[in-house]
Amino acid sequence: MLDIIAEQVDKSDVEKERPNHLILAEHSIVEEPKQRGDAGGGLPKHKNSHLEALTERHTVDSMTESWLKFGKDPKFIIMTEKQTVLVTGASGLLGRSIVSELEKNSGFTIIKCAFSRTRDGYVKMNLLNEADIQETLQRFRPCAVIHCAAERFPNKVEENLEEVKKLNVRASEVLALEADKIGAFIIYISTDYVFDGLNPPYSEDSVPNPVNKYGATKLLGEKAVLGVNPANVVLRVPVLYGPVTSIEESAITVLLKAVREEKPQLVSDIEIRYPSHTEDISYIVHQLLKLKLNDTRCIHGIYHWSGKEALTKFQMVKVIANVLGLTASHISPDRDETKLSTGPLRPKNCQLSAARIDDLGIGKHTPFSDGILCALRKHV
């Protein structure tokens, strides 16, 4: 799948001003990005351009408790009282939660970037316009970019692959390139769909093998971000839910529709998911950000986080009905695996092992019954 997607990338656009090892058509599904640190290993050497970039951007003033931290590796961060962090997709499901989490910390100035759902306090940035990305990063010069924006619905990816590649792959690479120019790093939000779901659980070092085009584009985005700078961070997460503007915003909250309809229907009882609350992911992103700002060499490469409960859609529907005091007697489990061939293929079980997050002691899990009640209560 990855080879097919990669070969369709227009080299005339992608090769421009790019390191040779980032030509996406040259990557295979089993290749790791050249010069990328493995998920748990050491950090390879990186170009020493950050001293000039950061000292040009910041001044170190001991009277304001600013400090400079750098080590043997040339990648380093200058911290001041107000660190600027740019969030893409800031008006989306996860982006809103990350902004809320970071705004609790007075040490950050948050640049909230969005495109289709901008409002007061947001910066409009078109990720399909490379000049717009460059201008925005040069204007705000953040120390970190948290990249949430993506097309995450597999059906939409299948229907509009060429446009989705521009967002999920090329825009991710351009963000990484522009961030690198100013000495910033990327935290790239990825997905468990980079795996085929045949041999769970998957560790950070497991070989990806996406079975649909959504997973393939996100994997290419990972390779691009880590290929630009192996000190960048990838956080793979499963299906998300949380406070939604409408129940259609999450593949989990939309299951309320099946409960409401009260007519006989079948809901899949095959694919196993590990739903994660956006507040849990936001907390972990915040902790990774703080750790990396304190010691940029210790946090890099690939990380996993996942909910702790294994649930099919049918099981989630039963929980939703129960916590909301509704009936699900009209819903029956669908165990017909022949139906898996309709629409984009979904992996059967992409359970993620979160060893690196666990080792850092920064994991967080909201029980599904508690989280889904809070997310849906106002929609009933």
What are the residue boundaries of the structural domains of the chain, listed by start?
2-241+278-308
Please, is 201 exposed, middle or buried when counting C-beta atoms within 10 Å of its C-beta (0-12, 13-18, 19+)? middle
Q: Look up residue 48 and give its two tokens.
A: 């020493």
Q: Give residue 25's pLDDT.
A: 31
Mean pLDDT (the chain) is 83
22 touches 173 (CB < 8 A): yes
pLDDT, tens digit, 9 for 90 and up, residues 26-73: 333 333 333 334 465 455 445 444 434 443 443 333 222 333 333 333
Q: Kindly list the distances between the CA atom of residue 40 and the CA atoms of 187, 218, 300, 354, in Å, as whole numbers in the listed order.
A: 16, 20, 9, 12
User: E-strand spans in 103-192?
Assistant: 108-114, 123-124, 144-147, 185-191
Domain 2-241+278-308 belongs to what architecture?
Answer: 3-Layer(aba) Sandwich (3.40)
Q: Look up residue 297 and give its two tokens.
A: 């060499």
Q: Look up residue 319 and give its two tokens.
A: 């929980």
Q: How confident is the model at residue 222 (pLDDT cuts 50, 70, 90)?
A: very high
Q: Give residue 344's pLDDT.
A: 84
For residue 254, count other CB atoms closer than 10 A to its CB: 14
Indicate the pTM of the whole model. Answer: 0.82
Between these two residues, 82 and 335, which has the higher pLDDT value? 335
Residue 358 pLDDT exceeds 90: yes
Residue 116 pLDDT exceeds 50: yes
88 touches 149 (CB < 8 A): yes
Q: Give residue 284's pLDDT.
A: 98
Q: Looking at residues 65-93, what average pLDDT do you find?
A: 61
Please, is 378 exposed, middle or buried when counting C-beta atoms within 10 Å of its C-beta (0-12, 13-18, 19+)? exposed
Q: Give residue 290's pLDDT.
A: 95
Q: Give residue 67's pLDDT.
A: 30
Give the CA angle between residues 179, 249, 89 to the nearest 5°: 15
Q: How confident is the model at residue 6 (pLDDT cuts 50, 70, 90)?
A: low
The listed range with the strongest mean pLDDT (101-105, 233-237, 376-380) is: 233-237
Q: Kindly list the distances between the CA atom of residue 110 and the CA atoms of 50, 96, 122, 259, 355, in Å, as whole numbers in the listed order.
A: 22, 11, 10, 38, 29
Which of 161, 171, 177 minimizes the C-alpha distance to 130?
A: 171
Q: Give residue 341's pLDDT.
A: 55
Which of 216, 204, 175, 169 minimizes the C-alpha distance to 299?
A: 204
pLDDT, tens digit, 9 for 90 and up, residues 126-161: 999 999 999 999 999 999 999 999 998 898 999 999
pLDDT, tens digit, 9 for 90 and up, residues 95-109: 999 999 999 876 899
SS3 helix, strand, coil % of the chain, rounded to 5? 40, 15, 45
Q: Give residue 343's pLDDT.
A: 73
